[in-house]
């Protein structure tokens, strides 16, 4: 009779008692299972590689309502992308997972052991070239296996950071229905429902069918509901002084204007000003005064944000399994849809104001502006810019597993595809805006709601609403894996695993005609004439304030793989594992990678393990083959330095006036080299008794030829050093030629990271309950990253070097305590992360009354460590019914103050860093589940 092992005390709970990990004692006649990270089906036991296992019941104890919420709470997860950071319209609604801050593109996500298509909304820079976690329904997950050691011979040498394998429910005739609600303050409220039912038994009936349905919805959360993130002007104290820092955008309502200081031919003393401020002695509502490059009024765009977007998700998952002798043919499928709506401040942009025009004579000439000028305007009356991101995901796999001629095997075919669609509103064409302004119907110097009826009608007539951009990613794979005992050695069986596979991946970029810049009238859909002269009705229009000329393209590639793995029992308690993998790409040649490890058990209480290996990751298809195109604007505002002005002049362009965002141009690169990695790990587990378990794994990863882009902070700080990172862009609507940042794909250099994962578990019996206490920590020891192959080495640990634009936390940890008594279980979990140094920001000193002094300083603000407490209570009045209530972030701890504005993969929020902290705050939730 087969019996599974009992997971003993080596367990790590990352949040709310979730992560059952670890040391599993082998006993006679145990069921063989395939462990993530190994090709060989063997006794379900601790292996030479660190594999963390989260079971369904453990997931429920976290209070996490999605796969994303769950994974982002784990201590060894850093560098993931979340929905909040996507606010701003460029992320397509994706959420990802990154292990050990090595990146989501290096973290392989699997479903039942097979690969899935990358996100259909990925970009040519490699952003979002990962699996979208929104496609995976948490209700259908039986367990999650996480291999925190990379470059798996079984699943792929490109899994440099590790593997996250989602195992869905199967072979069950049980059913359950679950409902849940979450109640944060002010928004982001959720409701969810799921149902699962299985039919038949493989052993009794020879078949099993399982179907799972789930749906959830979340409301939006506006920035005005959070006092720590509702303004682009932040006041704070540091070092005994009071300061303010401003995130400036010159486009405002009423508009700011460019002042030529009465000398149109000489721009050395030009500045910005606001006619409303001059006339009224104060800035209008929704703006604040900026005294830099003149006195003008900056728009508080942060106050218009939705810091957490509204979302709807639905999924259906099915599994059919048959029993035919020793064979189990199967068919699995998953279909999911998600829709995310995010809204940000009304569109900003520049409008030309010719000398002698009615607007010039009314607002500018009386203020001393002699020549042509520009209005920096926020089209507030069109409403907020709205991005509706729809993602559809489909995964199908069919195959057979079982025992054949003494070999455990799994042969399969899988097809997976991800389709991304983005619809927009509130983003008119730049030429369309210019025409309305030139007609005299649009007045950029009046406040919200003060346009004439004719002006409003004209604005509404140019407001584009519809499809903007999208893409589709597909993956077809065929594979065969098998393992067997070759012979019995004195210390145990010699085991061999092997397999072969084929993959075809393709990607199609599908921008709209508007996104391609091929329309003369975006609303009417009128095609333009690229040769039409300026002012012609068929001149090609682009998006106001954020021009784009995306180029559609389709590309694909094939790859082949073969691998072998051998487990050799060398002596009692000591075994070695070796594996070899060969990959061949039709566009990148071939690569052979290897891995070797050991496991030593000197006694029942101690286990020591270690591994070394190599990895290989080819660039994504878009990173290689995408043509050069506009790629939005910089995160930060930058002031033109003499060095940047010299580069602009050499290119026949000019700098943008004042602190401004600059255009970004990106392109694929056919000369990219693949990334190559080396990894090492060593670990120990110690179990002095059934109720105590301790473990630690020390790991090291080195990635050569890293693929990415130079950070804008580094390039703008050193424009001469990166002279090849500049180009030009002609602004649609004004015809001005500005210098632009060229963020092309490059092989940057070498990344090296070293860290330590620690866990400890203890159990004890109290007079009134049993207590289980679990601690999990990840400590980042060392980090070195290069921006160029021969350049200096940077570290982002604790904020570290600002050139990287990201943060690597020194410590991430959790401490969970569960009290179990009768039908009740109470869990209290503390989650903590270390502080860091913020990026350098220029701040203005305030006097004792809070008034600006005009004195500016550059400071690096310490961002405080962050600790939150979660509470949950589960009540099981009967075996088939469970009610769970809880509070996440019990004390409503706010995100720590951060005054930097830029950084990779960051949203538009200000006052805190949305990449690392949630704005949701204290959240009450209730879940109920009934089994039948």
Contact assessment for residue 153 and residue 580, using Cβ atoms and an 8 Å cutoff:
yes
- Separation between Cα atoms, residue 783 and residue 702, nearest integer Å: 10
* Closest C-alpha to 568, from 660, 496, 633: 496
Concatenated DSSP letters of 481-505? EEEEEEEEETTEEEEEEEEEEEEEE
Residue 132 sits in a domain of what CATH number?
2.40.170.20
Q: What is the count of structural domains for the chain?
A: 1
The answer as to whether 198 is a domain residue is yes
For 909, the 3-state DSSP assignment is coil
Give residue-wise pLDDT tens across range 646-657. Answer: 999 999 999 988
Per the listing, tokens 């020879």 go with 206
- Whether residue 547 lies inside any domain: the answer is no
Residue 524 neighbours by CB under 8 Å, 6+ apart: none
Q: Is 437 helix (H, G, I), strand (E, B) or coil?
A: helix
Task: Enumerate the H helices of 264-396 as residue ranges.
Answer: 275-280, 358-359
In a domain, 460, yes or no: no
Over the stretch 467-487, which tens digit does the pLDDT of each residue have?
A: 999 999 999 999 999 999 999
Long-range contact pairs involving 356-362 (C-beta distance under 8 Å, separation at least 24): 357/438, 358/440, 359/437, 359/443, 359/444, 359/445, 362/445
Residue 357 placed within a domain: no
pLDDT at position 36 is: 59
Structural domain contains residue 362? no
Strands 663-666 and 737-742, bridge-based pairing: parallel
DSSP-derived letter for residue 56 is H
Residue 641: Cβ within 10 Å count = 14
φ, ψ (nearest 5 deg) of residue 133: -65, -20
| pLDDT lower than 70: segments of the chain | 1-47, 89, 547-548, 902-905
CB-based contact 507:622 (threshold 8 Å): yes
* 476 domain residue, yes or no: yes
Cα-based angle 438, 439, 442 (whole degrees, multiple of 5): 80
| Domain span including residue 85 | 32-225+308-343+388-423+471-509+555-623+673-709+747-931
In a domain, 236, yes or no: no
166 assigned to some structural domain: yes
What are the tokens at 133?
């976690």
Bond from prior residue into 208 cis (ω within 30 degrees of 0): no
Q: Are strands 162-168 and 107-111 parallel, antiparallel or unpaired?
A: parallel
3-class secondary structure, 740: strand
């Amino acid at each position: 009779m087969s019996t599974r092992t009992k997971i003993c005390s080596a367990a790590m709970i990352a949040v709310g008692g979730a992560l059952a990990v670890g040391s599993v004692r082998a006993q006679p006649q145990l069921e063989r299972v395939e462990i993530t990270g190994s090709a060989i089906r063997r006794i379900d036991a601790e292996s030479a590689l660190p594999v963390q296992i989260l079971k369904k019941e453990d997931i429920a104890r976290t209070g996490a309502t999605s796969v994303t919420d769950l994974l982002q709470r784990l201590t060894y997860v850093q560098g993931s992308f979340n929905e909040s950071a996507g606010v701003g319209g460029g992320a397509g609604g994706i959420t990802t997972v990154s292990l050990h801050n090595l990146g989501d593109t290096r973290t392989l996500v699997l479903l039942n052991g097979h690969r899935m298509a990358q996100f259909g909304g990925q970009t040519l820079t490699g952003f979002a070239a990962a699996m979208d976690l929104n496609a995976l329904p948490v209700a259908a997950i039986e367990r999650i296996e996480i291999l925190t050691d990379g470059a798996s011979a079984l699943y792929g040498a490109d899994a440099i950071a590790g593997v996250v394998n989602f195992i869905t429910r199967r072979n069950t005739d049980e059913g359950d229905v679950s409902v849940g609600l979450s109640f944060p303050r002010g928004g982001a409220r959720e409701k969810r429902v799921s149902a699962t039912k299985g039919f038949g038994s493989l052993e009794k009936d020879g078949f099993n069918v399982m179907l799972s349905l789930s749906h959830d919805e979340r409301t939006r959360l506006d920035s005005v509901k959070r006092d720590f993130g509702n303004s682009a002007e932040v006041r704070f104290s540091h070092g005994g002084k009071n300061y303010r820092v401003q995130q400036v955008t010159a486009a405002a309502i009423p508009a700011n204007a460019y002042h030529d200081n009465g000398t149109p031919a000489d721009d050395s003393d030009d500045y910005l000003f606001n006619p409303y401020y001059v006339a009224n002695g104060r800035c209008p509502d929704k703006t604040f005064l900026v005294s830099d490059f003149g006195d003008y009024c900056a728009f508080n765009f942060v106050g218009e944000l939705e810091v957490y977007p509204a979302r709807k998700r639905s999924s259906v998952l099915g599994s059919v399994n048959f029993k035919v002798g020793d064979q189990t043919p199967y068919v699995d499928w998953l279909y999911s849809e998600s829709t995310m709506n995010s809204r940000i401040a009304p569109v900003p942009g520049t409008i030309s104001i010719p000398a002698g025009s009615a607007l010039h004579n009314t607002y500018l000439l009386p203020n001393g502006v002699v020549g042509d000028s520009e209005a920096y305007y926020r089209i507030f009356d069109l409403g907020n810019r709205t991005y509706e991101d729809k993602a559809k995901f489909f995964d199908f796999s069919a195959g057979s597993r079982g025992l054949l001629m003494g070999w455990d095997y799994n042969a399969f075919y899988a097809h997976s595809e991800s389709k991304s669609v983005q619809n927009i509103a509130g983003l008119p064409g730049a030429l369309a805006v210019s025409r309305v302004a030139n007609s005299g119907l649009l007045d950029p110097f009046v406040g919200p709601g003060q346009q004439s009826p004719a002006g409003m009608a004209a604005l509404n007539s140019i407001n584009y609403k519809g499809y903007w951009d999208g893409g589709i990613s597909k993956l077809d794979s065929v594979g065969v894996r098998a393992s067997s005992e070759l012979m019995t050695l004195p210390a145990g069986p010699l085991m061999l695993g092997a397999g072969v596979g084929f993959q075809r991946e393709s990607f199609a970029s599908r921008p709209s005609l508007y996104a391609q810049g091929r329309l003369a009238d975006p609303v009417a859909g009128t095609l333009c004439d690229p040769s039409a002269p300026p002012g012609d009705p068929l001149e090609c229009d682009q998006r106001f304030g954020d021009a784009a000329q995306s180029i559609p393209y389709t590309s694909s590639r094939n790859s082949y793989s073969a691998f072998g793995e051998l487990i050799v029992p060398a002596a009692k308690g000591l075994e070695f594992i070796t594996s070899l993998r060969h990959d061949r790409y039709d566009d990148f040649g071939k690569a052979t990678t290897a891995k070797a490890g050991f496991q030593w058990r000197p006694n029942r209480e101690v286990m020591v393990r270690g591994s070394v290996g190599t990895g290989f990751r080819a660039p994504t298809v878009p990173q290689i083959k995408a043509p050069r195109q506009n790629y939005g604007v910089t995160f930060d505002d930058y002031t033109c330095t003499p060095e940047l002005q010299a580069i602009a002049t050499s290119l026949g362009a000019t700098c943008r006036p004042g602190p401004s965002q600059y255009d970004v141009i990106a392109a694929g690169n056919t000369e990219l080299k693949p990334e190559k990695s080396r990894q090492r790990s060593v670990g120990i587990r110690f179990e002095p008794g059934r109720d105590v378990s301790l473990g630690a794994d020390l790991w090291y990863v080195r990635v050569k030829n890293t693929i990415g882009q130079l950070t804008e902070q580094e390039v703008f700080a050193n424009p001469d050093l990166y002279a090849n990172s500049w180009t030009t862009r002609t602004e649609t609507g004004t015809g001005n030629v500005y210098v632009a940042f060229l963020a092309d794909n490059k092989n940057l250099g070498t990344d090296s990271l070293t860290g330590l994962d620690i866990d400890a578990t203890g159990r004890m019996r109290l007079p009134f309950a049993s207590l289980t206490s679990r601690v999990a920590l990840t400590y980042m020891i060392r980090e070195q990253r290069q921006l160029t192959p021969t350049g200096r080495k940077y570290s982002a640990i604790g904020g570290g070097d600002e050139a990287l634009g990201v943060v690597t936390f020194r410590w991430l940890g959790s401490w969970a305590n569960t009290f179990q008594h009768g039908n009740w279980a109470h869990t209290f979990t503390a989650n903590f992360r270390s502080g860091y140094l913020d990026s350098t920001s220029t701040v203005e000193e305030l006097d004792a009354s809070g008034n600006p002094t005009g004195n500016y300083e550059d400071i690096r603000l310490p961002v405080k460590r962050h600790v939150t407490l979660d509470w949950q209570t589960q009540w099981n009045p009967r075996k088939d019914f469970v009610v769970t209530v809880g509070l996440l972030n019990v004390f409503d701890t706010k995100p720590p103050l951060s005054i930097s504005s830029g950084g990779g993969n960051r949203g538009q929020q200000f006052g805190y860093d949305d990449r690392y902290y949630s704005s949701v705050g204290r959240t009450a939730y209730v879940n109920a589940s009934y089994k039948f």
